[in-house]
């Protein structure tokens, strides 16, 4: 929000009309904000967030459904959806976390070494797609194209050394 900046510049002696023209904002909303910088809705949201934070600090294993019950007991009533929105915007999640993917597991380590990894002079890991001999490094891509007869899947394998296509497959199914 630019209104605090306009207020600071006005205190320094720069007219509001000039600042609003340079920043391409209307003056009337600024004056409306200046008269009441914190709206009632923002104040209520802040009180609700404080109640949820206090409940989360006391019991970090609780999710937003339990936190909203704790906040209601503290005197800040709100809908579960409001509690979910506040908790998700501020990153307050249950200490137990959420399941990942369809089986709830994190992906494991790679099953092979990355032959393209190069560390540059600044210590940043990058990928260099080059090969010193044929059949040393292949690149592949799979894509789908919709045609008048249905979906068409194309898979291409390219040898980096010779820069030629060494294999391809075209099929209506990706297999």
Q: What is the pLDDT along the chain (175 residues), one digit of tens a residue?
A: 788 888 999 999 999 999 999 999 999 988 988 888 888 888 899 999 999 999 888 888 888 888 889 899 989 889 999 999 998 888 888 877 666 566 667 777 777 777 788 888 898 888 888 888 998 889 999 999 999 989 999 999 999 999 999 999 999 988 7
Return d(Cα 70, Cα 106) in angstroms, integer: 32
Measured between alpha carbons, how far is 49 from 55 in angstroms, rounded to an integer? 10
Task: Return the pLDDT at 112.
Answer: 76
Of the candidates 151, 156, 152, the residue with the CA atom closest to the CA atom of residue 141: 156
Exposure string for 23-54, b = 16+ CB within 10 A, e = fewer: eebeeeebeebeeeeeeeeeeebeebbebbbe
**23: CB partners within 8 A, 6+ apart:** 2, 5, 6
The pLDDT score that the predictor gives to residue 90 is: 86
pLDDT reported for residue 4: 87
Contact 2, 25 (CB under 8 A): yes
Which tokens go with 129?
């797609």
CA dist 20 → 23, 32, 122 (Å): 5, 14, 44
What pLDDT score was predicted for residue 97? 63
Residue 157 structure tokens: 């394998």
């Amino acid at each position: 929000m630019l209104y605090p900046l306009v207020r600071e510049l006005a205190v320094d002696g720069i007219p509001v009309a000039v600042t609003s023209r340079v920043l391409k904002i209307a003056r009337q909303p600024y004056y409306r904000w200046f008269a009441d910088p914190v709206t009632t809705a923002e104040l209520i949201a802040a009180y609700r967030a404080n109640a949820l934070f206090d409940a989360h600090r006391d019991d970090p294993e609780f999710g937003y459904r339990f936190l909203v019950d704790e906040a209601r007991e503290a005197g800040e009533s709100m809908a579960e959806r409001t509690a979910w929105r506040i908790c998700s915007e501020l990153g307050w999640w249950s200490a137990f976390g959420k399941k990942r993917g369809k089986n709830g597991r994190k992906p494991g380590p790679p099953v092979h070494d990355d032959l393209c990894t190069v560390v540059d002079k600044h210590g940043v890991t990058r990928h260099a797609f080059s090969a010193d001999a044929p059949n040393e490094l292949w690149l592949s891509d799979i894509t789908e194209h919709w045609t008048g007869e249905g979906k068409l899947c194309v898979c291409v394998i390219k040898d980096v050394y010779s820069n030629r296509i060494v294999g391809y497959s075209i099929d209506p199914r990706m297999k």
